[in-house]
Structures are given as structure tokens and as C-alpha cells.
Chain A
Amino acid sequence: MAMNTNYLYLLVFAALIAETDIEVNLSSIIASNAYVSVLLGIAATKAILIAMFYQHLKYEPKSLSSWVIIGLVIASLLMGLSFVQLHVGHP
């Protein structure tokens, strides 16, 4: 398992570096609000790669991922609802 795993780690690493490169060069390609979403999307895929392979979550029981997933949902609630407070239907 060791050799294959090491190659996998290197592969993930290569993907992470490539994505970072894309992020930095993106500004010249895309403009406007979609840019932020694209960047966050790329960041999310990097995060998922690190979580699944470096933190081994792909091979752990699904219940173990639940801690951070619940955290993400709750944090998104805070950000989402407070955004709505200020920018939707201001009296």
C-alpha cells in the first residue's frame, strides 16, 4: 500500500499546486462577481482533496466527516442569514 499511497499523495499535491496557479492567473480571464464564486469553488475542491486524501476522510466512516460538515452548514447559515438581513428587503 505504501508506494501506491505515496504516488496518490504526490498526485493530490500536483493538483493542489496546479489549482493555485489557475487561481492566481484567473483575474485576467474572468471579471465580475462570478469570479468570487469560481475562486471559492476552486478553493473548495482543494479543500476536499486535502480532506479526503491527506486527512483520510475518504477511507474513514462517513460519520467522522459529519463534524466538519455540520460546522460548515451552521457557519453558512450565519453568513447567509446575516447577508439577507442587510441586503434583502431593507425597509
Chain B
Amino acid sequence: MGQRFAYSAKRWLYTTNHKDIGILYIITSLFLFAAAGVLAITMRTQLSAPDNNVLTANVYNQFVTVHGLLMIFWVLSPLAFGFANFVIPLQIGCRDLAFPRLNSMSYWFFLFSGVMMILSFFFGAAPDLGWTLYSPQNTGQFSPAIGFNLGAGALILMVVSITMSSINFLVTMFKMRAPGLKLRYMSVFPWAILVTIFMMLYAFPSFLAAVVLLYVDRAFGTVYFSSIQGGSLLWDNVFWFFGHPEVYIVLFPAIGIIADIIPTFARRPLYGSKYVIGSLVAAALISFVVWGHHMFVTGIGIASTKLYTVTTIAVSLPFDVIVISLIETLGFAKLRLKAPALFALGAVANFIVGGITGVFLASVALDYALRGTYFVVAHFHYIMVGASIIGLIGGLYYWFPKITGRMYDERLAKVHFVLSMIGFQVLYFPMFLLLDMPRRIVTYSPQTDWGLLNLTATLGGLIFGGAQLLLFYNLYRSSRVGPPSGPNPWDAWTLEWALPSPPPPHDFDVIPTFQADGTIRFGSGPGLPNGLGHSNEIGNPNGSSVSNKTSPLHHEGLSPWPVLMAFAAFIFFLGLTIGKPANPQPVSYQPFWPLIADGVILGIISLFGYSRETFTVHEDTHVESWPFKQVPNMKLGIWTFLGAEVIFFGVLIGSYFFVRTNDAAWPPAGSLFEIRNGFAMTLVLLTSSLTAIMALASARAGNRNGLIASLGGTLVLGAAFLYIKAGEWFSLGASGVFQNYSLPATSYFITTGTHGVHVFAGMCMTVYLLAKAIKGKYLHGDHTTLEHFGLYWHFVDIVWVFLFPLFYLI
């Protein structure tokens, strides 16, 4: 760690190295953990006695909301991905993620989104409806504070960060594994991360759609969430459809860490590792069909409540397998109870309690009594703190030596463990007994008998919170003066322990090779058993990606564009959300144009700089890449992104479908929107797909004129599409539709508007491509950018192919 403190600020701002970014994530999330923890301690103080007035209801509601949002989005996942960033490339034998600059951008988007969330406190009020932000209290009518909009903007930036990360990790884990490293050889932590990023890819776009819909409702007066056909149930569905996979997203990395730590310290392989991995996959799949258990008492049909009871109870089965396998791993073991192992086992113990109480809540009949009570609060804190945080802390102690090169103080860590576990039980177990007490109340009456249990919980909170100070002190001090740890203090087998502690910037001198019998070869000799994989030989006969002995490899690369791009986005969203209210109805907020303009300008500059920068990422052909052999990394990334877009548009269309089937009265086709406009737009866009593919064909054939004509045609047709749309919107605006949105107008504007933004983005890309084509690019076998643009553009066309009949013809 020592030499990293010597990094300049510029180095930290511009780094794209996965290890540096991992450290940035870890430190930022620990800082936000402390901040959100302070919010929690304040809340617990308020609740320690009945009729207390440490906090007003207004402040309390904001604290409980921001505490939840920060912990879930800005602590649990980023901490896990801090480890993933540092460790996964090492564990799979590559030197960085597939897209290092994108990785850096992910971090900076994450950081600025956190800043925005905290800023929300200072603009009227931060969001104050619980992290779940239910409708219709989340609309501008009931929550007019501008801080709420900032919160929405922060969430959007955070989702963008996560989507970029998911794509990056997916391409990396599929396309950059060391030769011979089949997926089944990976230990559980990389598998857990792989399953997590799949869930992230497909769940977060639903949340993004929900927040975008909410923002548009608030800023423009559309009525998705204020109407009774949409409203509470629409939000419940689009939010919890994301929300349930999300709680597994924040849990699985910790399970992965636990499943790597326990075998290491038990000195025996994981019992039933393929069943553990299979269980993670099964749980991830099932997680997409259980979300209705958050809606048990909303009045959905009894058939649905029974379905969700069954699926939710069923999802406990894979977790049973995981817990039993972890326990059986200890059989005939030689278990060293160092801090990582203690935390891993403590997490398992808490997970058992949390998981069992989850089964209680899975029963719709019990939920009729337990919904919205502290029983629920206890259940999810047992999982999210008891299993996830405790497991992640185990990971922190486990990888601390690898990251810093120094060993932490073991005795202090053990004290930290004991105090944390005791404090945790005293804090949360009483809440199971408070199953009559509503959640999120600022205070309660002395006539209830809740005082004693609440006071107990508060004392537990103080112990638990105070114990974490030991963690921070231990890590800080040890990073400066701890004894050198050596490369493999735990005698572990995963590849990160083959490298020095901390690893050199380029990680492996020579990429290791996995052989069919399971032996791992480091360097050109047989696999070294003593943990020193650092070979003096450069140049792997298996063909790794080292160019020469002295050239800085790409992962030393510094680039200013990611942080600038993120800052531009931050400014832009600030401008979108910060404006003062113009008039109460219906448009509630004025965009703050100076900031929006600054954001756009800086964004364009950053994009330009990003694309012009020569940043080479060498793609190795000798790596394991099943099932995407022959697919270049960038193309894989684009298709991954399109998978996420399917969910995003799917939720937008689904929301339309939801309110329309919930409303008897809908105007007949062609009465609100002229069919011929839609027809014209369809023809225009279909033709633009033709010109786009012709452009690619011309490029392949080296035909410069054909290329320029086709690209120019695409641009013109895209502009025509937007022109027709603008005309349509203009005439609708003139007839007063913007002043008083109906539900049909709402669904139309939001869905076709978002699509229009995608068209506009495509046109910006076309301008760029045209400029390059005129200069002679793309004609000599370098047409992949053109191909990638086409994939995006045809996708946008496909979306319109569905929007046209859905909005104009029915």
C-alpha cells in the first residue's frame, strides 16, 4: 500500500487500473458506510424511548430513507465490487477488465451519484418515503421538495454506473479467462460475481425505467404514478421487479467471499462446490419471479398470492444447500479461526436466522399480520448486515494483506468480531419481538410496551457501531505499520495469492495456464507450489498479451476522460433536477439551463477526447472464451448492453400495457395520434436501417462513395423521423395536451419520447461516423465501429417496430 499513498491526486483521478479502482470503491463505500451508519445511530437514539424528540418526523423520514438508499446502493454493492475489481482479474488470470476506461467511468459515476444523493438533503428535503419510495406519495403533488428530484437523479447516475460495470465484468469473465480456465474451474467468488452481474444486467434497467417514469411524472406532469390505473400498483410492480433481484445482488458477492474463505481456513475443498454454484444460479433465476411477495396485501388476486408464496418459499431451497455445504466443508478439517474465517462463519450463522425468518414472510397468510412491521426490518437486516456486511468484512480482512502488502492486527480483529456479533444480536433480535410495531415511525406511544425492546436495540446499535471504529483503526494503522504479509499468508489456492502483495501494476508477468488435470502452470515451468508465481521470464509460449519488457501495458494507462465524463453527467443531472418550481401545476420544475448546457458541453468534449485517445487494449486469442469464442469483446459488450435495453424498453412498454388493461376507457386508434404520422415514421426508420446496413456493406467493399451516401442517408432519415415527431408533438402541444396529461398521452409521450432520445443519440453517432468516413476511415477492414453502430441502430428500429402498432394502431 505504501507506494500507493505516493500516488498523486492526478494519478488517482486518471487511473484505469482495476486494482486502483477497486481500492477507490472500497474506500468510498466504507466512508459512506460510516455516514449511513451515523444516520442509523441517530434514528436508534430517537427510538430508544417513547415520545422522544431528538429528531422531528421530517428529519427522521429523510434519515430512514437515505440510510436505506446509501447502504443498499452506495455501500453493499460498491464494497463487493471493490473486491471484485481488485481480485477477479487476478483470479481469472488476466491483467485488467475488458474496458479499463469504462471501469474508471463506472467508479466516477458512482462517486458523483453519491455526492448528488447527499446534496439532496440541502434542497428542501432529501427523499423521505423510505428507500422504496411508494406511489402516489412520491409524486410532485405529495412530495414537492426539489431534494427528491436530486435523489432521483442520483439513482439514475448510479444505475448508469452499475450497467457499465455489469457489461465490463460480463465481457471480462467470459472473454478473458486464462488458457484452460474453464468456467467450472472457477472458485465460488467469481461465480457469485458472475451470477450477480447477470442479475444486475437484467434487474437494474427496470429500476432505471421506474425512476425515469417518476422523474418525468414529477417534472412534466405526466400521470403514470398519480393515476389510479397506474399509481401504487404500477410502482410496486416496476420497483419490486427490480427490488427483489436487488436484494440477492447485494447478498451473493458476500456468499461468494464466504465460500472462498471457509475452505481456505478449513484447509479442505468446498463441499459440493458445483451444487453451491448451481444453487446460486437457481436462486438467481427464481429471484425474478418472487417480487409479488412485497405486494401480498395490496389486493392482487388470490391466485397470485399463492403463486408468490410458493416461489418465495421455494427460493429458500438453494440457500439450504449452500448453508449445509458450507457446514459440511468443515468436516475433518483443520479450521484456523483467524478473523476472515470468524467473520465468514458469523455471517453463516446470521444468514441461517435471516433465511428462516424470510420463510415466515414468504407466507402470504402470515404477511397479513407481519407486513410493515419490525419483524420485516429484523429479517432483512439479518441478511443485509448479518450475512452481507459481516461477510464483506471477512473479505476485507482476507484480502487486506494482498491489497496492502501488510498484515492487520489479528487480536484487534478478533475483538472487533466479538463486539460486532454481540452488538448485532442485541441490536436486531429484539426487533423480531416487535412484530406489532410499524416500520418507519419517528416515535411511538408510552402506552405500547415497545420501549424496553427499543432501548435494548439502541444499546446493541451503539455496540455494533462502535465496534466498527476498531475496524477502521485496525485497517488504517496496519496499512501504515503492519508487518509485511508476503504473497500468500493464508496458503490459499486462488490465483491472486500467486502474485506479490501488493501485485505489480501489470499483475502477471506471465499469464498462468490451466491444464486438463487441474494443474496450474505459472511461467514456463511446472506450477509453483510455494505461492510465488512471479516468474522472471517474459513471454509466455501460450501467447499472452505482454508486448515487450519495458512498455507500459494498458493497465498502467491514465485517462482523464472518464472522470470528466462523469462530472459532465453529474452537472447535467444537477441541472435537470435542481430547478426551482415554476408553478405548482402541472409542470413542477424548471430545468436549470446553465448547468444543463455546461454538462452537455463538457460531455461532448469528454466524448470527443475519449474517442480520440489512443488507448490500446490487447485482445488475446488464446484465452478461454466459451461460449463467445470468435466474438470480439466490443461486439459482446454491445449485445450485452442491448440485452439490458430490452428490459428498459420492456418495462416502459409494460407500464403502458399495465395501465391500459387496467382502464376501461381508452380512445380508439387514430383519434389521438394520426396513424399516417406513425406510418411515415415507420417507413423512414425502416429505410434508415437499410441505409445503415448498406453503409456497412459499402465499407466492407471499400466503396467510399457508397459509404458516405449511405451514412448521409441514415442521418437524413433519422432527422426526418425526429422532424415528423416534432411536428406531431407541436400540434399536440397546441391542442393543450401538455397542460393536462391524460393516461394515453402519458404513456405515448414517455415511451416514444425515450425512444426519440435513443434516435437522437444514434444521430449524434452518425454525425461522428460520417465525419470519419469522409476522412477515409472504415474502408480498409477497420469497419467494426460501423458494425457496432448498426447493431444499436437496428435495435432502436426494432423498438419502433413495436411502438408503432402499440401506440398508433390499437
Task: Check if A91 sits within 8 Å of B302, measured CB to CB.
Answer: yes
A64 within 8 A of B: yes
A43: chain B residues at CB < 8 Å are: 801-802, 804-805
Tell me if A86 and B683 are in contact (CB < 8 A). no
Q: Which of B292, B686, B795, B801 contacts A85 (CB 8 A)?
A: B292
A68, B289: Cβ atoms under 8 Å? no
Q: A residues within 8 A CB of B693?
A: 9, 53-54
Q: Which of B679, B692, B798 has the most CB of A within 10 A?
A: B798
Question: Chain A contacts of B745 at CB under 8 A?
Answer: none
Q: Is B106 an interface residue (CB 8 A)?
A: no
Q: Are B289 and A81 in contact (CB under 8 A)?
A: yes
In this assembly, does A70 line the interface, its C-beta being within 8 Å of a C-beta of chain B?
yes
Cβ of A44 to closest chain B Cβ, rounded Å:
8
Q: Does A75 contact B (CB under 8 A)?
A: yes
Q: Could you tell me the distance between the alpha carbons of A52 and B692 in the complex, rounded to whole angstroms?
A: 15
Given contacts A13-B690, A39-B810, A75-B646, are A64 and B639 in contact (CB under 8 A)? Answer: yes
Are A42 and B805 neighbours in the complex by a CB distance under 8 Å?
yes
SS of A interface (majority): helix
Contacts of A67 in B (CB 8 A): 639-640, 642-643
**CB-defined contacts of B795 to chain A, threshold 8 Å:** 55
Q: Which residues of B contact A76 (CB under 8 A)?
A: 650
Tell whether, in the assembled complex, residue B303 and residue A27 are in contact, meaning their CB atoms are under 8 Å apart.
Answer: no
User: Once the chains bind, are B798 and A47 in contact (CB under 8 Å)?
Assistant: yes
Contact of A50 (CB < 8 Å), options: B683, B801, B809: B801
B697 touches A9 (CB 8 A): yes
Contact-residue size bin, chain B (C-beta under 8 Å from the other chain): 35 or more
CA A27 to CA B639, docked complex, whole Å: 35
Contact check, B646 vs A61: say whether CB atoms are below 8 A apart.
no
Distance, CA A78 to CA B692, complexed state (A): 33
Chain A residues with Cβ under 8 A from B302's Cβ? 89, 91
Please state if B304 and A81 are interface contacts (CB–CB under 8 Å): yes
Given known A-B contacts A2-B697, A39-B810, A84-B304, A50 and B689 have beta carbons under 8 A apart:
yes
Chain A residues with CB below 8 A from B650, complex form: 71-72, 74-76, 78-79
Assess A24 versus B679: contact at CB under 8 Å? Given A40-B805, A67-B642, A85-B301.
yes
Q: How far is the CB of B528 from chain A (nearest CB, A)?
A: 35
Residues on B with beta carbons closer than 8 Å to the beta carbon of A82:
237, 654, 658
**Interface 1/0 per residue, B364-379 and A, CB below 8 Å:** 0000000000000000
User: Which residues of A lie under 8 Å from residue B304 when comparing CB positions?
Assistant: 81, 84-85, 88-89
A51 and B690 within 8 A (CB): no
B494 CB-CB contact with A under 8 Å:
no
The answer for the CA separation of A78 and B689 in the assembled complex, in Å, is 29
Are A61 and B647 closer than 8 Å at their CB atoms? no
How far, in Å, is B192 (CB) from chain A's closest CB? 19
Within 8 A of A (CB), among B386-445: none
* Stretch from B66-74, B157-165, B628-636 forming part of the interface with A: B628-636
Residue in B closest to A64 when the chains form the complex, CB atoms: B639
Smallest Cβ distance from B270 to chain A, in angstroms? 28
Specify which chain A residues have a CB less than 8 angstroms from the CB of B300 in the assembled complex. 85-86, 90
Quick check: A47 and B802 within 8 Å, CB to CB?
yes
CB pair A55–B791 under 8 Å, yes or no, is yes
Closest A residue to B670 by CB, please name it: A27
Task: Name the contact of B628 in the complex, choosing from A63, A83, A84 (C-beta under 8 A).
Answer: A63
For the complex, give the distance between the alpha carbons of A87 and B233 in Å. Answer: 13
A61-B629 in contact (CB<8A)? yes
In the complex, which residues 644-667 of chain B have their Cβ closer than 8 Å to any Cβ of chain A? 644-647, 650-651, 653-654, 657-658, 661-662
Complex Cα distance, B148 from A31, in Å, reads 45
CB-CB under 8 A for A16 and B686, given A71-B646, A86-B661, A89-B302: yes
CB neighbours of B694 from chain A (8 A): 6, 9
| CB pair B805 A51 closer than 8 Å | no
* B794 at interface, CB cutoff 8 A: yes
| Chain B residue with the shortest CB-CB distance to A86 | B662
Contacting residue for B790 out of A46, A54, A86, CB 8 A: A54
Closest to A63 in B: B627
B282 to chain A, nearest CB (A): 15
A9: B residues at CB distance < 8 A? 690, 693-694, 697
Cβ-defined contact, B805 with A39, below 8 A: yes
Q: Determine how close the nearest CB of chain A comes to the CB of B442; give it in whole angstroms.
A: 32
Report which of A17, A26, A42, A71 forms a contact with B644, defined as CB distance below 8 A. Answer: A71
Taking a contact as CB atoms under 8 Å apart, the answer to whether B794 and A55 are in contact is yes
User: Which A residues are in CB contact (< 8 Å) with B697?
Assistant: 2, 5-6, 9
A34 and B797 alpha carbons, distance in the complex (Å): 25
Chain A residues near B636: list those with CB within 8 A: 64
Q: Determine whether B767 belongs to the interface, using a CB cutoff of 8 Å to chain A.
A: no
B682 cross-chain contacts in A, Cβ below 8 A: 20
Which partner residue on chain A sits nearest B808 by CB separation? A24
List 7 tightest A-B contacts by C-beta distance, closest first: A75-B650, A71-B646, A67-B643, A89-B301, A89-B303, A85-B300, A63-B627
Q: List 14 A-B contacts (CB under 8 A).
A: A13-B689, A40-B805, A54-B797, A55-B794, A63-B627, A67-B639, A71-B646, A71-B650, A74-B650, A78-B238, A85-B292, A87-B661, A89-B303, A91-B302
Apart from A60-B631, A79-B653, what 16 extra A-B contacts exist at CB < 8 Å?
A: A2-B701, A9-B693, A23-B809, A27-B809, A39-B810, A46-B798, A64-B628, A64-B636, A75-B646, A79-B650, A84-B304, A85-B304, A88-B303, A89-B301, A89-B304, A90-B299
Binding site for A on B (CB under 8 A): 202, 206, 233, 237-238, 241, 288-289, 292, 295, 299-304, 307, 627-631, 635-636, 639-640, 642-647, 650-651, 653-654, 657-658, 661-662, 669, 675, 679, 682-683, 686-687, 689-690, 692-694, 697, 700-701, 790-791, 794-795, 797-798, 801-802, 804-805, 809-810
